[in-house]
Structure 1
Amino acid sequence: MTETPLHRRDATQIAADIREGRTTAVEALEIMQDRVERLNPQINAVIAHDFEGAKVAAEGLDKLLDRGYCLGPFHGVPMTVKESYNVTGFQTTWGDPAMKGNMADADAVVVERIKRAGANVFGKTNVPLNLTDWQSYNDVYGGTGNPWDPTRTPGGSSGGSAAALAAGLSALEFGSDIGASVRNPAHYCGVFGHKPTYGIVPKRGHWKKPSNAPGDVAVCGPLARSARDLEAALLAVAGDDPIYGAGWTLNLPKPEKDDLGDFKVALMLGSPVTETEAEYQDALRDLAEKLRAEGATVDERDPFEVDWEEYHLDYFRLFRPVTHARLPADAYQWFRDEVAKLSDDDDSYFAMNARAGTISYYDWAAADQRRYGYRDKWNAFFQDYDLLLCPQAASAAFPRNEDQPREIREIEINGHKVPYNDQLFWAGISGAVYLPGTAAPIGLGAQSNLPLSVQIIGPYLGDLTTIRFAQLIEESFGGALCPPGYE
Structure 2
Amino acid sequence: MTDATLSRADPIHYQDATTLAALIRKKEVSSREVVQAHLDRIAAVNPKINAVVTLMAEDALRAADAADKAVAQGAVLGPLHGVPFSIKDALDTAGVPTQRGSKLFAGRIPTADATAVARFKAAGGIALMKSNLPEFSAWTETDNLVTGRTNNPWNLDRTPGGSSGGESAAIAAGMSPIGIGSDVAISVRGPAAFTGIAALKATQGRVPFTGHYPAVTKRWWHVGAMARSVGDVALGYSILKGPDGIDGYAVHPREADAGADHIPGRLRIGWVAEAAFGPVDPEIAAAVASAAARLADLGHDVEPVDLPFLGNPLGALMTLVFGEIVPTIKALAAGREGDLHAIGAGIVATPDPTFAAYLEAEAQGEALRSAFAGFFERYDVLLTPVNPMTATPHGAQELVVDGKTVPWTHVMAATSPFNLTGLPALSVPYAFSSEHLPIGIQLVGKWLDEATLLRLGAMLDRKGGLDERRPAL
TM-score by length of 1: 0.87
- Deviation of 1:152 (Å): 0.2
Per the alignment, residue 391 of structure 1 pairs with 385
Contact (CA 8 Å) 1:317, 1:356: kept in 2 or not?
A: no
How far apart are residue 97 of structure 1 and its match? 1.0
In 2: Cα distance, 1:161 partner to 1:292 partner: 33
Q: Closer, same or farther in 2 for the Cα pair 1:24/1:67, shift >3 Å?
A: same
Q: In the comparison of the two structures, how many residue pairs are matched?
A: 457
The correspondence for 2:74, drawn from 68, 72, 78, is 68
- Note the alpha carbon deviations across 1:256-278, whole angstroms, 9 max, x for none: 58999522211111256641111
The answer on 1:324 being equivalent to 2:311 is: no
Residues 257 and 42 of structure 1: CA distance in aligned 2, closer, same or farther (over 3 Å): farther
Aligned to 1:342: none
Query: Where does residue 283 of structure 2 map in the other structure?
Result: 279
Shift in alpha-carbon separation, 1:353–1:382, aligned structure 2, 3 A: farther
Match status 1:88 vs 2:71? no
One-letter code aligned to 1:238:
K
Partner of residue 130, structure 1: 136
Shift in alpha-carbon separation, 1:330–1:140, aligned structure 2, 3 A? closer
Does residue 295 of structure 1 match 2:289? Answer: no
- 1:93 to 1:56, Cα distance in 2 relative to 1, 3 A: same
Q: CA deviation at 1:397?
A: 0.3
- Among 352, 374, 381, the alignment partner of 2:375 is 381
Give me the whole-angstrom Cα distance separating, in 2, the residues matched to 1:9 and 1:260: 30
Matched, 1:153 2:159: yes
Which residue of structure 1 aligns with residue 311 of structure 2?
308
What's 1:217 paired with? 220
1:149 and 1:31 map into 2 onto residues whose CA distance is: 23
Question: Does the Cα contact within 8 Å between 2:258 and 2:447 map onto a contact in 1?
Answer: no
CA drift at 1:470: 0.6
Is 1:206 the counterpart of 2:203? The answer is no
Q: CA deviation at 1:186?
A: 0.3
SS, match of residue 265 in structure 1: strand
| 2:318 maps to amino acid | F
| 1:41 Cα deviation from its structure 2 partner | 0.7
Q: Select which of 320, 334, 353 maps to 1:359.
A: 353
| Of 435, 447, 452, the match for 2:439 | 452
Preserved contact between residue 166 and residue 481 of structure 1 (Cα < 8 Å): no
Q: Whole-Å Cα distance in 1 between the matches of residues 348 and 408 of structure 2? A: 16
**Residue number in structure 1 paired with 2:342:** none
Q: 1:135 to 1:476 in 2, by over 3 A?
A: closer
Question: Which amino acid in structure 2 is aligned with residue 27 of structure 1?
Answer: E
Q: Which residue of structure 2 aligns with residue 105 of structure 1?
A: 111
From 394, 398, 401, the counterpart of 1:400: 394
Tell me the SS of whatever aligns to 1:284.
helix
Counterparts of 1:155 and 1:277 in 2: how far apart (Å)? 17
Matches of 1:364 and 1:241, distance apart in 2: 30
Q: Provide Cα deviations, 1:184-210, integer angstroms capped at 9, x if missing partner.
A: 0000000000111111211111124xx
Listed one character per residue, the Cα deviations across residues 282-337 of structure 1 (whole Å, up to 9, x for unaligned) are: 1211222222222222211124x31523x44322233222432442239799xxxx
Moved more, 88-97 or 456-465: 88-97
- Supply the distance in 1 between the matched residues of 2:327 and 2:209 (Cα, whole angstroms): 16
Residues 1:462 and 2:449 aligned together: yes
Quote the offset at 1:79 in angstroms. Answer: 1.2
Distance 1:361 1:128, change over 3 A: same
Aligned to 2:53: 47
**Which digits, 9 at most, give the CA deviation of each residue in 1:12-49, with x for residues without a partner?**
11100100111111110000000001111111111210
* Whole-angstrom CA distance in 1 between matches of 2:420 and 2:386: 15
- Counterpart code for 1:149: N
User: 1:240: how far off?
Assistant: 1.2
Residues 85-112 of structure 1 deviation map (CA, whole Å, 9 limit, x = unaligned)? 1112221121111211111211111101
Residue 201 of structure 2 is matched in structure 1 by 195
Q: Tell me if the contact between 1:216 and 1:322 (Cα under 8 Å) persists in the aligned partners.
A: no
| 1:390-446 deviation digits (Å, cap 9, x = unpaired) | 111121101111xx7xxxx1012124532111232212121100000000011101x
Cα 1:67–1:135 change in 2 (3 A) is: same
Shift, 1:478, TM fit: 7.0
1:353: how far off? 8.8
Residue of structure 2 equivalent to 1:440: 428
The code of the aligned residue for 2:439 comes to L
Q: Distance in 2 between matches of 1:243 and 1:216?
A: 14
Unaligned segments of structure 1, at least 5 residues: 334-351
Does residue 226 (structure 1) correspond to residue 214 (structure 2)? The answer is no
User: Is 1:372 aligned to residue 360 of structure 2?
Assistant: no
C-alpha separation between the residues in 1 aligned to 2:465 and 2:67? 32
Give ranges in structure 2 of 5+ residues lacking alignment: 1-6, 336-345
Q: What is the rounded CA distance, in whole Å, between the counterparts of 2:276 and 2:294 in structure 1? A: 27
CA distance in 1, matches of 2:266, 2:390: 30
Compute the displacement of 1:166 (Å).
0.6
Is contact 1:239–1:249 with CA below 8 Å preserved after alignment? yes
- The 2-side partners of 1:169 and 1:263 are apart by 37
In 1, Cα distance between equivalents of 2:110 and 2:444: 34
What displacement does 1:78 show?
A: 0.8
Deviating more after overlay: 409-418 vs 7-16: 409-418
Deviation string, structure 1 residues 105-145 (Cα, Å, up to 9, x no partner): 11111101110001001111110111111111111011110
- Three-state SS of the structure 1 residue aligned to 2:415 is helix
**What is the match of residue 266 of structure 1?**
270
**Quick check: 2:277–2:388 contact (8 Å CA) kept in 1?**
no
User: What is the distance in 2 between the residues matched to 1:430 and 1:355?
Assistant: 27
Work out whether residues 386 and 441 of structure 2, in 8 Å CA contact, stay in contact via their aligned partners in 1. Answer: yes
* Counterpart Cα distance in 1 of 2:290 and 2:121: 40
Deviation at residue 65 of structure 1 after TM alignment: 1.6
Distance 1:273 1:263 in 2: 23
Structure 2 counterpart SS, 1:441: strand
Amino acid at match of 2:92: N
Give the root-mean-square deviation of aligned CA atoms.
2.8
Shift of 1:473: 1.3
Q: Name 1:413's counterpart in structure 2.
A: 401
CA distance in 1 between counterparts of 2:311 and 2:168 reads 29
- TM-score normalised according to structure 2 size: 0.89
Once residues 481 and 186 of structure 1 are traced to their aligned partners in structure 2, the CA distance between those partners, rounded to angstroms, is: 15
Q: CA deviation at 1:241?
A: 2.8
CA distance in 2, matches of 1:357, 1:24: 54
Spell out, residue by residue over 1:229-258, the C-alpha distance to the aligned partner (whole angstroms, 9 max, x if none): 112211212111333559863433175589
